[in-house]
């Protein structure tokens, strides 16, 4: 299972704790609060992932 984690803001301790169980799976992470988001690539990642979680 491929998981895409999207972060709308910098992850806090709660997010870090909630993500722990996913660490044994294939993960990709995208931070929207960074300046250089590749939105085209993000769309591809969304549709090539089995599950997408858009954290706070």
Q: Which residues bind another protein (CB under 8 A)?
A: 1, 6, 8, 14, 17-22, 32, 37, 39-40, 42-44, 46-47, 49, 51-56
Q: Nearest distance from residue 51's CB to another protein, in Å?
A: 8
Q: Look at strands 51-55 and 2-7 and give their pairing.
A: parallel
* Smaller CB separation from another protein, 26 or 32: 32
Q: Which is nearer to another protein, 28 or 55 (CB)?
A: 55
Structure tokens at 13: 């301790």
Cα dist from 37 to 17, 27, 43, whole Å: 25, 17, 11
Six-digit token pair at 14?
């709660």
């Amino acid at each position: 299972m491929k998981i895409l984690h999207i972060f709308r803001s910098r992850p806090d301790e709660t997010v870090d704790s909630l993500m722990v169980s996913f660490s044994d799976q294939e993960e990709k992470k995208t931070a929207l609060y960074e300046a250089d988001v590749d939105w085209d690539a993000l769309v591809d990642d969304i549709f090539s992932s089995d599950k997408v979680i858009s954290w706070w």
